[in-house]
Amino acid sequence: MATLEKVDVVIVGAGASGSLYASVLAKAGKKVVLLEAGPDWQMTDLISSDFWGRRVKPSGVPFLFEGKNPYGYAYQGGWGVGGAALHYFANFPRYLPTDFKVKSEHGKGLDWPINYADIAPYYDKVAAEIGVSGDAKAEEIWRPKGEAYPMPPMKTFRNGQVWLKGLEANGIRMVPAAVGMNSVDFKGRPACIYDGWCHVGCPIGALANPVITYLADARKAGAEVRALSTVTRILTDASGAKVTGVEYYDAKKEKQVQEASVVILAAWAAQNPRLMINSSTDKHPKGLANSSGVLGKYMMAHYASGTWAMFDEDVEPHMGTVGAQYMSYERYDKNSKKAKGAFGSTYIVAGTALKTSDLGGFANARLDLFGPKLAEFMQRAKRGITRLTAFGEEMPNIENRVELADGKDEFGMPLAKIVHSFSDEAIALWNANFDEGIEIAKATGAKEYWSARGPMPTIHLFGGTIMGEGAGTSVTNSYGQTHDIPNLWVAGPGLFPTEGASNPTYTIFAVSQRGAENLVSKWGSVAG
């Protein structure tokens, strides 16, 4: 085992939040090392194929999945530089003011220690930095005013347009979806050509994945990326008052120690608490920065109620982007479906490119079909099928958790399990959104329509290292700095005390930008 020369910052994970932190810190003159467990993907690795797109996702993760609604992982997970954002859909909706104050407004869930106004400037900053297409003015029927997006909305296609009549008939206003994609050339990156391969990675850079944005900037500023490097332990000094670096296995599977003044955990939301618990010492017997006892707790996931519709006309299902064409916060009021026993926000999107295979492909639109009936269905669906999706919110529940489990991974680190069950209110909202989806589809005039029912899905992952007002009830402050150990920081959606209902990456970027700038501004008092 070698101990490597001390650096200013070691970042665990080169995904969305890690790449942003690396960019900000390297530009501020800090010596930054990113340790990434997966490969160092290049844009040329992003082959337009559902088969080959699976290469950039995890295989054999060191987690077990338990509970009534076990977390589904690999499809949406990241493996390698860029993380999940290497192949994300790049939907960039914001959270709304209500998302930050659920406890205060409704007496359930949790509050964030900050307001929408604290994050809003960073949404604008991120948009200007990496490019967002959309219509901010149109969105402002639901949210406070902000700056215009740097690019106009993306093109729309019939597979999205055909939903508008049904949505309007149900009183649901739609606006152009905000997306992290280029509707026009932006900062040397070309405009999107709408070929619908976003979900396996966009090699031309029209979609703002971290490899072409923040990580590229970080590398230019001198940050070093060490791929195939798996961190197994965070190291602390004898007093337990500060971290001194991390222990990891390099690409040759040899153990190394990287010392650093600051450690930033930017791995997957479940991996960060796994690492922190595995780094227990006599000074931190329940895991690092866990005086609150909530480390690994309050894991949350989104769920979706999809509605399929088949039209006689050719809606060109394969065209567009995998991100949405239209979006709506019309059902975002957390009590909008209270009469059905539901609680939580709903975020609605319409218009998505559909390929044939893989989990999201239209061959899976009727999972009950096989044989000649499936062949016949594919012939009809290739022209007429399209999908509407309503995403739902669950409330934080302390029983939904990450904890170490029996068994070890290839590096000798204990496996972890994610225990996750949806509440009755979340299940009620899921069902209510299916009902409304059918009403919307009916009003479109579609030839056929049906709900995309199956096991209740788990989408995105939040919590486990939540931010809060103090060490009694949370792991970090609003910037991601742990309450207990000032030079140990956490980044990503694990910080979120509530999850809202809309896609999280824009908020992950905004929260990370705010945290990274804060770290730079108080570096002298933080660095160990």
Partner 1 sequence: MSDIERRALIKGAGLSALAFSVGGAEILLSPRQAHAQNIPFRTLTPEQVETLEALGETLVPGAKQAGISNFVDQQLSIPHGEALLEARILNVRPPYANFYRAALSAVDKASQAKNGDKKFAQLSADERYGFVDLMRQNKIEGWQGPAGPFVYLILRSDAVDVVYGTMEGYAALGIPYMPHIAPEKRW
Min dist. Cβ of residue 231 to partner 1 (A): 18
Min dist. Cβ of residue 31 to partner 1 (A): 26
What is the three-class DSSP state of 62? coil
Min dist. Cβ of residue 407 to partner 1 (A): 11
The secondary element (H helix, E strand) that includes residue 121 is: helix 116-130
Residue 46 as a binder of partner 1 (CB under 8 A): the answer is: yes
Q: Which residue is it, tokens 């595995």?
A: 278
What is the three-class DSSP state of 312? coil
Tell me which of 368, 406, 524, 525 binds partner 1, using CB under 8 A.
Answer: 368
Tell me which of 117, 169, 367, 398 binds partner 1, using CB under 8 A.
Answer: 367
Residue 175 as a binder of partner 1 (CB under 8 A): the answer is: no
Tell me which of 114, 191, 204, 520 binds partner 1, using CB under 8 A.
Answer: 204
Residue 104 as a binder of partner 1 (CB under 8 A): the answer is: no
Min dist. Cβ of residue 51 to partner 1 (A): 4
- Please spell the DSSP secondary structure of 155-198, one letter per residue: P--HHHHTTHHHHHHTT---EEPPBSB-SS-BTTBPPP--BS-G
Min dist. Cβ of residue 389 to partner 1 (A): 19
Q: Which residue is it, tokens 């990503």?
A: 492
Tell me which of 6, 27, 31, 54 binds partner 1, using CB under 8 A.
Answer: 54
**Residue 269, exposed/middle/buried by CB under 10 A (0-12, 13-18, 19+)?**
buried
Tell me which of 28, 73, 414, 520 binds partner 1, using CB under 8 A.
Answer: 73
Fill in the amino acid letter for 28. A
Tell me which of 28, 31, 49, 146 binds partner 1, using CB under 8 A.
Answer: 49
The secondary element (H helix, E strand) that includes residue 249 is: strand 243-249
Tell me which of 312, 370, 453, 470 binds partner 1, using CB under 8 A.
Answer: 370
Residue 65 as a binder of partner 1 (CB under 8 A): the answer is: yes
Residues 6+ apart with CB under 8 A from 26: 32, 217, 218, 221, 222, 223
Which of the residues 315 through 334 are near partner 1 (CB under 8 A)?
Answer: 318
Q: Which residue is it, tokens 């044939």?
A: 356
- Contact range with partner 1 by CB under 8 A, out of 8-16, 116-124, 360-368, 421-429: 360-368
Greatest Cα-to-Cα distance within the chain, rounded to the nearest angstrom: 71
Tell me which of 51, 128, 220, 470 binds partner 1, using CB under 8 A.
Answer: 51
Q: First CA to last CA across the chain, in angstroms?
A: 23
Asked if 179 and 90 count as a contact pair (C-beta separation under 8 A), the reply is: yes
Tell me which of 4, 8, 27, 45 binds partner 1, using CB under 8 A.
Answer: 45
C-alpha distances in angstroms, 145 versus 141, 183, 370?
9, 22, 50
- Please spell the DSSP secondary structure of 23-57, one letter per residue: HHHHHTT--EEEE-SS----GGG--S-HHHHGGGS
Min dist. Cβ of residue 47 to partner 1 (A): 5
Residue 239 as a binder of partner 1 (CB under 8 A): the answer is: no
The secondary element (H helix, E strand) that includes residue 373 is: helix 372-384
CA separation for the pair 217, 19 (Å, rounded): 9
Residue 406 as a binder of partner 1 (CB under 8 A): the answer is: no
CA separation for the pair 275, 298 (Å, rounded): 17
Asked if 56 and 87 count as a contact pair (C-beta separation under 8 A), the reply is: yes
Residue 263 or 301: the one with the smaller Cβ distance to partner 1 is: 301
Min dist. Cβ of residue 322 to partner 1 (A): 13
Asked if 347 and 329 count as a contact pair (C-beta separation under 8 A), the reply is: yes
- Dihedral sign from CA coordinates of 273, 275, 278, 280: negative
Residue 255 as a binder of partner 1 (CB under 8 A): the answer is: no
Tell me which of 3, 59, 335, 521 binds partner 1, using CB under 8 A.
Answer: 59
Min dist. Cβ of residue 364 to partner 1 (A): 8
Residue 356 as a binder of partner 1 (CB under 8 A): the answer is: yes
Residue 55 as a binder of partner 1 (CB under 8 A): the answer is: yes
Min dist. Cβ of residue 109 to partner 1 (A): 28
Residues in the chain: 528
**Residue 376, exposed/middle/buried by CB under 10 A (0-12, 13-18, 19+)?**
exposed
Residue 56 or 327: the one with the smaller Cβ distance to partner 1 is: 56
CA separation for the pair 42, 217 (Å, rounded): 15
Helical pair 16-27 and 505-521, crossing angle rounded to 10 deg: 30
Min dist. Cβ of residue 417 to partner 1 (A): 13
Residue 66 as a binder of partner 1 (CB under 8 A): the answer is: no
Residue 107 or 371: the one with the smaller Cβ distance to partner 1 is: 371
Residue 357 as a binder of partner 1 (CB under 8 A): the answer is: yes
Site string for partner 1, 503-522 (x = CB under 8 A): --------------------
Tell me which of 154, 202, 266, 395 binds partner 1, using CB under 8 A.
Answer: 202
Tell me which of 28, 191, 374, 404 binds partner 1, using CB under 8 A.
Answer: 374
Residue 71 or 422: the one with the smaller Cβ distance to partner 1 is: 71
Helical pair 116-130 and 505-521, crossing angle rounded to 10 deg: 100
Residue 148 or 251: the one with the smaller Cβ distance to partner 1 is: 251
Residue 28 or 228: the one with the smaller Cβ distance to partner 1 is: 228
Min dist. Cβ of residue 375 to partner 1 (A): 5
Min dist. Cβ of residue 337 to partner 1 (A): 29
Asked if 51 and 242 count as a contact pair (C-beta separation under 8 A), the reply is: no
Residues near partner 1 (CB under 8 A) are 39, 42, 44-52, 54-55, 57-61, 65, 72-75, 193, 195-197, 202-204, 228, 251-252, 318, 355-359, 361, 363-364, 367-368, 370-372, 374-375, 378-379, 382
